[in-house]
A and B are shown apart, each in its own frame.
Chain A
């Protein structure tokens, strides 16, 4: 993680509100599955730099919120590096796979960053991606017609009434006229 460009902003996040943010971040990282003290410290530092960078660009409304977002962004960035090209569905599936503990030692790998191409986690992550639905195989299903008796009778009746009252000429052709 490059740090030089955020050095000037570090002061921004070194204010009094950082300790509570860091405390919350520790709980959040634990919820993610990162419990090793060294790993927590390393990730907290990375998040702090991210938040500082954001704070430098624009005032932050809530630093804890920014820290949580930064953590997830770091996670996604690492997963994208592991997966190479990945659509949002593959990324979401990979995140689900690591967070559900299906990839042993993933936290260390997250900190270390993606290894060489030969050692990538991509095959493992893709294998863990579950197919919720098979590829679409559409069939047309037109709406059937059910000709109800009452409907038919009503149609015939109203047709007869209409013919009788609205179009009396159509009912009986006048003498000398064709129907």
Chain B
């Protein structure tokens, strides 16, 4: 009976979540409306109320996700899963293959292949690697990186030997970016695989996790996608270590909460997920959205849409919050973090057009809204702050009237300080309580607490992390507001590609990125101090974050500071206190894939052209195709340009064109060797 009742419980997950979110929002709204409706409501106050309603909805949804996750993890701790011996994959059913696919685009080949090698080695150690194959789906345009990728692939494929399980292909045209890359793989080789596990260039996954993902898919034939939440690891700067700590400690709670209310209509985060290939090919061919960029054209953030399309077709999409062994690397500095946001922002805002599209499930629409809100919240907060400042200014102009009408006694103006303070405290509670809840979880699980450095140190880390998050929040708010504005105004902000490795922010870079923030702080601070002094003190946390953005950005990017904090046991994550096997393998593999000493970066293209060995290796990877007259002419033109302008006179695109075909490559090889000076002296092997 009780079992039957609990079985029905899953139908209440979503109503419970939405009811709690709505009630909390309404409660906070009623407090604010009581405080600001002093003798009617002005248009400005109405705008404030609407903005607050939207932002509260966003905050409470996040809060209740964490709170429900907290309860879920607590229950899980008290009812540990019964351990059972899992069957081997090949014993489950008829033999099938799973592809581990990694779409890459101009990424560091050493890191890409080290990550894949570590993941594969971890899989080999489970004894179940036979049914897996690795496919590097390169969309790389940079000819140097392309040649390096080939060399790395060749070395690894040679080591693994027969039967061939490590594959590599470089796409001729990178149509539709990452989604097009995956689609091309599915169209060409999809029939070979039952599942594909999609990894990002910085993903690392443990072998046991990969096997378990396949097992879950096999257990439920209606399951099309399982997303395993990736935990951020491996960075050393203070900024990254704080993010890693937060991601590890609070992230599990949020993931459990998301899984609780999303159920079978979860989301796809683009990587560290397993996908059933056949339904994916049947339903996830992405169309172009009508109109021009930024809201039309190719769908940039394809993952949300693919999950929504699978759910629309009746397939299950789940978030496996209980699975570990899924890792990713994060940007090392605040500026790099903002750069990544810039890339994601446009894709997420594009989803605003899909919210009301026909046929999508309600939960998928909520994913789209949440994606949009993750960037739109910043300009809304900014507007809210501006509106609050203006409202406070108007209030400061109002002279209280104590005697009016026939009243003999003074009529004291009504104070709403209690209501306003309550609104503030409710908002702060919703923002910071999840951090406290995560510490409560640690208190209930001493073993886990030890892996976070012990409860006192974890608590201190939470305190410091909260302090920095208060300082960094206004900076990110301005960054994201700028990105949203730039996208709406159809201008490009012009961020370069993402920096994945550890590096530090220099003074010039910090000034370049944050001088506007500092200026905003000085101007706004002066204005509020002079004209609305009461508001100024409320505003100081925001102003402090902006005013200190340059030193904070530089300070948090310091690797030494991050390492010092680690030695003190601060921001310690379970992955740092007990390194998982697959991460240790990554370190080993990074030495394996490192470029030979003396190999200058950027000379791989030249090596592919002049070094007979590299030339032969690269030529062996190129398709055998008859040269057309048009291509011949184009190649000859490029060769003339090379002769006239020298090696540095060619653009990256032109260099790539020259080494994309066997005939052009052969001609160039011969030409350079017949030049005035031999290109290699002494021979480079």
Contacts and interface: CB of A to CB of B under 8 A. Distances in A.
Interface of A: 24, 27-28, 30-33, 62, 64-65, 68-69, 72, 87-89, 92-93, 95-96, 99-101, 130-152
Contacts of B158: 130
A96 B285 contact: no
Looking at chain B's contact residues, the main secondary structure is: helix
Contacts of B191: 137-139
Contacts of B284: 141, 144
* Max chain B C-beta neighbours (<10 A), residue from A136, A141, A150: A141
30 contacts: A24-B673, A24-B674, A27-B681, A28-B673, A31-B611, A31-B683, A33-B685, A68-B670, A89-B620, A92-B619, A92-B620, A92-B662, A96-B617, A96-B620, A99-B612, A131-B157, A132-B168, A132-B169, A133-B167, A133-B168, A134-B167, A134-B189, A135-B192, A138-B189, A141-B183, A143-B285, A144-B286, A146-B289, A148-B356, A149-B356
Interface in B167-186: 167-169, 183, 186
Contacts of A150: 353, 356
B682 interface: yes
B433 interface: no
Interface in B137-186: 153-154, 157-158, 164, 167-169, 183, 186
A65 B188 contact: no
A118 to B, nearest CB: 24
A27 B289 contact: no
A31 B611 CA distance: 7
A142 B164 CA distance: 30
A129 to B, nearest CB: 8
Contacts of B621: 132
* Max chain A C-beta neighbours (<10 A), residue from B158, B284, B620, B671: B620
B653 interface: no
B486 to A, nearest CB: 22
* Max chain A C-beta neighbours (<10 A), residue from B153, B282, B674: B674
Given A133-B169, A147-B358, A139 B619 contact: no
Contacts of A100: 613, 616-617
Contacts of B282: 141-142
Contacts of A68: 669-670, 673-674
B612 A31 contact: yes
A148 B680 contact: no
B617 A137 contact: no
Contacts of A147: 357-359
A153 to B, nearest CB: 9
Interface in B356-388: 356-359
B278 A139 contact: yes
Contacts of A93: 620
B311 to A, nearest CB: 12
Contact of B612 (A32, A135, A139): A32
A134 B133 contact: yes
Interface residues on B, range: 35 or more
Contacts of B670: 65, 68-69, 72
B290 interface: yes
B500 interface: no
Given A65-B670, A132-B167, A136-B188, A143 B685 contact: no
A96 B616 contact: yes
A139 B671 contact: no
Contact of A65 (B169, B355, B620, B674): B674
A95 B620 contact: yes
B361 to A, nearest CB: 14
**A-B complex: 4 closest residue pairs judged by Cβ atoms:** A137-B191, A139-B190, A149-B356, A137-B192
Nearest to A89: B624
A136 B189 contact: yes
Contacts of B624: 87-89, 92
Given A31-B680, A69-B670, A138-B190, A144 B167 contact: no
B214 to A, nearest CB: 19
A26 B284 CA distance: 57
A72 B621 CA distance: 18
A149 B355 CA distance: 8
Contacts of A64: 673-674
A130 B154 contact: yes
A148 B674 contact: no
B187 A139 contact: yes
Given A33-B685, A99-B616, A131 B358 contact: no
Interface string B587-624: 00000000000000000000000111100110111101
Given A30-B683, A31-B684, A133-B168, 6 more contacts: A33-B612, A65-B673, A92-B624, A93-B620, A137-B188, A143-B286
A132 B305 CA distance: 31
B283 interface: yes
B228 to A, nearest CB: 24
Contacts of A24: 673-674, 678
A64 to B, nearest CB: 4
A65 B277 CA distance: 50
Given A31-B611, A134-B167, A141 B281 contact: yes
A79 B55 CA distance: 71
A149 B357 contact: yes
Nearest to A145: B287
A158 B357 CA distance: 19
A136 B191 CA distance: 8
A10 B309 CA distance: 73
* Max chain B C-beta neighbours (<10 A), residue from A30, A92, A99, A130: A130
B552 interface: no
Contacts of A141: 183, 186-187, 190, 281-282, 284-285
B354 interface: yes
B290 A131 contact: no
Given A31-B611, A96-B617, A137 B673 contact: no
Nearest to B669: A68
A137 B616 contact: no
Given A138-B188, A139-B191, A144 B616 contact: no
A24 B671 CA distance: 13
Nearest to B617: A96
B285 A151 contact: no
A96 B190 contact: no
Contact of A140 (B281, B620, B681): B281
B516 to A, nearest CB: 34
B190 A27 contact: no
* Max chain A C-beta neighbours (<10 A), residue from B157, B289, B355, B616: B616
A135 B183 CA distance: 17
A35 to B, nearest CB: 8
A134 B678 contact: no
A6 to B, nearest CB: 21
A148 B167 CA distance: 38
Contact of B287 (A132, A140, A146): A146
Contacts of A137: 188-192
B178 to A, nearest CB: 15
Contacts of A65: 670-671, 673-674
A21 B343 CA distance: 53
A72 to B, nearest CB: 8
Contacts of A28: 612, 673, 678
A146 B189 CA distance: 26
A34 to B, nearest CB: 10
Contact of A142 (B285, B611, B616): B285
* Max chain B C-beta neighbours (<10 A), residue from A93, A133, A143, A145: A133
A24 B681 CA distance: 10
Contacts of A96: 613, 616-617, 619-620
